[in-house]
Chains A and B, each alone.
Chain A
């Protein structure tokens, strides 16, 4: 659990940093999975330290993904406008 969390945490940070937000959504999901595994790993005394590191990395990746992959909650107008403009250009 701990190692998996650390790997996912690092991958989520990389997704956020190197995709400049394009795969921020993927980074957020990977980061969320990493936090779950990290928190589960922390329950085991043997893997607690590596799981904590994984949890921290996953939280950083998750937040980074959210910041860079900015889309509006409850906002349908943005994409619909873009889609409509794509359609009218056809």
Chain B
């Protein structure tokens, strides 16, 4: 666990370095595959740019929505609290939903086949996300439940996690699962079997997230009746992906 790294006498957050590395590595693999597929790299950059803007806004809005549940409107938008909100966290699902929506709608404006690109290169999302989760582990946020068996970790005093108890390394588990998911999607794309990649990603990530949330211990995640906001969204994504998969299978069946 190393929340900060000293580079040229300035403290740089390990989380930032890891998430940036994740984005760069995901992009390199996307461009490498795009070159082989003879897809336009400029079109991919355009969609990614829109996705990043939408993702940023969506992740922040979802984060504010979760915070609003804990603290009222009046307190949240007091001038002294606004920098805390800006420099605070993000919620991945908010970013994913608005990011994909922005890419889809802006792709239409620029006449780019967004769905086709998304199917082929969706492996980049879990790949970058896996690096983000490694960053969570280094910073000590999104920590796991108290646990004292094999693999238990104790976070240092300068991290977000409680430092006097052993915890389950849930960030590492999620990171490994995301890497695996990315490998599965990459392999399918490489073998030109990417037609169901979006459904596979939404279904498997939803499943991973539902299970992982039971192993998390950070309290401010918007929990209603024992189920967190992310789990509710995961259930919806699992249902949507299953429905889309069955619908497309049925359409294919009737066509053939």
Contacts and interface: CB of A to CB of B under 8 A. Distances in A.
Nearest to B45: A39
Categorize the interface residue count of chain B. Answer: 35 or more
B66 A76 contact: yes
A76 to B, nearest CB: 5
B59 A73 contact: yes
Contacts of A35: 45, 48-49
Residue of A32, A69, A75 with most chain B CB atoms under a 10 A cut-off: A75
A73 B132 contact: yes
B46 A75 contact: no
A23 B24 CA distance: 21
A32 B53 contact: yes
Given A39-B49, A79-B88, A87-B71, A69 B16 contact: yes
B218 A36 contact: no
Interface string B87-117: 1111111010000000000000010000000
Contact of A76 (B45, B75, B220): B220
Contacts of B87: 69, 71, 79
B122 to A, nearest CB: 17
A75 to B, nearest CB: 4
A68 B91 contact: no
Interface stretch (B77-85, B145-153, B244-252): B77-85
B49 A36 contact: yes
B129 interface: yes
Interface in B121-166: 129, 132, 135-136, 139, 141-142, 160
Interface residues of A, number: 37
Residue of A63, A76, A84 with most chain B CB atoms under a 10 A cut-off: A76
B136 A75 contact: yes
A67 B88 contact: no
B49 A75 contact: no
B89 A83 contact: no
B20 A63 contact: yes
Interface stretch (B7-15, B190-198, B200-208): B7-15
A55 B46 CA distance: 11
A82 B23 contact: no
Contacts of A80: 67, 70-71, 88, 220
Contact of A62 (B52, B110, B141, B230): B52
Given A29-B56, A71-B15, A87-B75, 10 more contacts: A20-B10, A29-B53, A35-B48, A38-B45, A68-B16, A69-B87, A72-B15, A74-B230, A75-B90, A75-B160
